[in-house]
Structure 1
Amino acid sequence: MQPIAALPESTSRRIGFVLCDIDDTLTRNGFLLAQAYNALWRLYQTGVKVIPVTGRPAGWCDMIIRQWPVDAVIGENGAFAMLRTAGGYDLSLHSSVAGEEVKRKLDGIRDFVLGKISGLKVAKDQAFRWFDLAFDFAEDPPRFGMDTAVKIKELCEQKGAIAKISSIHVNTWFGDYSKLDMARELLSKHYTLTDREQRERVFFCGDSPNDEPMFSYFPLSCGVENIRTFLEVMKNPPSFVTRTSHGEGFAEAAEIILTAHKGTE
């Protein structure tokens, strides 16, 4: 990983899209930091299209697309995208999201995993989810370590589900999709970007193992400093890393892009 300051100005100037994770990328200890929110607004006002790509639930995404300065939001690790319109937003579901039987299957995984790990709970935002199940290993007490997160992931996979580890949750679902799948579909169909344009004009910023597909695909990928916590369990780290952590790190990366764009005004 190179320091984000090494990103060439000529490259930064081409960036027209900033995709980002939310938890521990824009936030710290669950709070959206002022520096990060200010950076979102400045990017939005500059004309850069901002798209959060998160494991958070549909209910949260409904609020985000309505109230944050973003062009779209991808939720539940790629199950859907919400795109801002003059009248609110349009909803686009990934073609492989599970059908009506999904709740029964996820309930079975919930009972199986909770029976294996004493004290573990589902995430408090579970009531607002449409397509996945989130186990809370590090958001609210009692908190568990990465070893437990890996065990949760393995237990979900034993039941035939997809599972990904974020900085706070292990999300599990049925369906052949990911953050990257939905991001590429959105960029291609809605914004008509070719594969080459996606690699040249899209910047992604994240912080945890469930961002690996995005780090792997987008050359202009960046981790906030706290990603170093997870490097030992990652095969595809980002190309760049910030000096500061969490939302301050996102603001640091955004400043590089904003400075380059200011030079074109």
Structure 2
Amino acid sequence: MRPINELDAKRISKLKYILCDIDDTLTTHGKLTAEAYTALWRLQDAGFAVIPVTGRPAGWCDLIIREWPVKAVVGENGAFVFYAENGQIRSFVHPSVAGSEVRAKLAEVKDACLKGVPGCRVAKDQFSRIYDLAIDFNEDPPYLGLDAAQRIKDICVLFGAQAKISSIHVNAWFGEYDKLRMTRLFFSEVLKEPNLLEACMFFGDSPNDEPMFSFFPNSCAVANILQFAGKLEHLPAFVTTREGGEGFGEAVGFILGVGGE
């Protein structure tokens, strides 16, 4: 990982889209900071299209697309995209998402996780979800750490589910999608962007961002990625000196300073 200030002006000049995780990338200690939110508005005012790519639920994503300065939002680790078009909020659902018939299977996964990893619990935002299950290991106390998160993930996989570890939750679902696969499909089918690799820069912070880090040559993590670095096969190309929302603000300030607003 190279310092973000080594991102060169030629790369910056080709960027059109800023993709970003939310939790612990835009937020700091669970809060969306003024610096990070201002950075989103600065990006929009400078002509960039911002697209959060998150594990957060559909209910949150509906609010985000309506009230944040963003073009679209990828939610529930790639199950869907909400986007604005001609004044309308539209949805694009991944073709492999599982229907209501898997709710019983997700309930089995949930029960096995709660039994197998003492102290873990269903995430408080589960009521807003459509397609996946979120098990909280690090958002609310007791904080269980990454070893517990790995045990939760292993249980999910035993049931045949897809599972990803974020900085706060383990998300489980049935369907052949993730953050990267949905992002690529949305850009191909809806945005019709032919130069995805040059046009996009992705910001993240945790293991569930690894597919995005591995694909986008313009990828950056905020400094809190360092706690996960030994567990990742694919690191981002760049890293900030600051953590969370302050790190995101740091990177945006550099990009806009070099590229001009």
Common fold by TM > 0.5: yes
TM-score normalised by length of structure 1: 0.96
Aligned-partner residue type, residue 66 of structure 1: R
Equivalent residue runs for 1:104-143 within 5 Å: 104-143=104-143
Distance, in Å, in 1 between the alignment partners of 2:184 and 2:257 is: 27
Matched, 1:189 2:221: no
For 1:3 and 1:99, how far apart are their aligned partners in 2? 43
Alignment of 1:195-214 (within 5 A): 197-214=195-212
Instruction: Return the TM-score normalized by structure 2.
Output: 0.98
Q: Is the 8 A contact 1:97 1:131 kept in 2?
A: yes
C-alpha distance in 1, partners of 2:232/2:171?
Answer: 17
1:149-175 Cα distance to aligned partner (Å, 9 max, x none):
001000000000000000000000000
SS at match of 1:55: coil
- Give the paired residue count: 261
Residue identity opposite 1:55 in structure 2:
G
Q: Map of 1:44-193 to 2, 5 A cutoff?
A: 44-193=44-193
Q: Return the alpha-carbon distance in structure 2 between the equivalents of residues 102 and 41 of structure 1.
A: 39
**Counterpart secondary structure, 1:101:** helix
C-alpha deviation, 1:36, in angstroms: 0.5
> What secondary structure, in the 3-state scheme, does the structure 2 residue paired with 1:111 have?
helix
Structure-1 residue corresponding to 2:43: 43
8 Å contact 1:13–1:257 — kept in the other structure?
A: no
* Deviation by residue 1:127-154 (Cα, 9 ceiling, x = unmatched): 0000000000000011101100001000
Summarize deviations over 1:12-31 as a string: whole Å, max 9, x none.
11110000000000001110
Aligned to 1:17: 17
CA offsets, 1:155-206, max 9 Å, x none? 0000000000000000000000000011111111222122xx1111100000
Q: Which residue, 222, 234, 240 being the options, matches 2:232?
A: 234
Displacement after TM superposition at 1:102 (Å) = 1.9
Question: Post-superposition shift, 1:72?
Answer: 0.2
Q: Which amino acid aligns with 1:186?
A: F
Q: 1:221 aligns with which of 219, 222, 226?
A: 219
8 A contact 2:119–2:144 mirrored in 1: no
SS in structure 2 opposite 1:175?
Answer: coil
Question: Unaligned regions of 5+ residues in structure 1, if any?
Answer: none
Instruction: Look up the equivalent residue of 1:222 and give its one-letter code.
Output: C
How far is 1:62 from its partner?
0.3
Residue type of the partner of 2:240? T
Deviation at 1:85, TM superposition (A): 2.7
Cα RMSD (Å) = 1.0
* Regions of 4+ moved over 4 Å: none
Distance 2:66 2:32 in 1: 16
